Amino acid sequence: MEQTLWGHLPVLLRANSKDSIEFILQALWRTRKTGLQSADRCIIQDMLQLENDSDLDPLLVCLRMLIRRYVYENTCKDDIPKLFPGEVLPELQKLLTLLLQKFRLVARRRAERSECK
């Protein structure tokens, strides 16, 4: 099932820019504890040119799993490309990996701050 889930990543290629992909990941990161608001879902759905809201869910699950694995399970940078299916372009893999590294740094800083308190 997991391999099937990763097959939804190419939907990101419908985004018009790298900034759009970054917005999507930032929205998921920002709402990781509360869940994505309907307004954000609509924006992301439009960015990806998806007709149905239900088409968005598998991609969001996949991206949340990537975030969780990379940021919280200490998956090493070199192992991230192994998660992607073959049809995901190397440029998209690289962009997602860079963005996930950014979120990992933020998560670690927050964890360090909470340990100090």
Q: Which residue has the higher pLDDT, 112 or 50?
A: 50
d(CA 42, CA 2): 26
pLDDT at residue 97, as a whole number: 85
Joined together, the tokens standing for residue 70 give 């990379």
d(CA 6, CA 24): 16
d(CA 7, CA 59): 9
Spatial CB neighbours of 77, under 8 Å, sequence gap ≥ 6: 97, 101
Q: Which residue has the higher pLDDT, 61 or 112?
A: 61
pLDDT in tens, 12-42: 989 988 899 999 999 998 898 899 999 999 9
Span 57-64, average pLDDT = 92
Query: What's the chain's average pLDDT?
Result: 84
pLDDT in tens, 84-97: 777 777 888 888 88
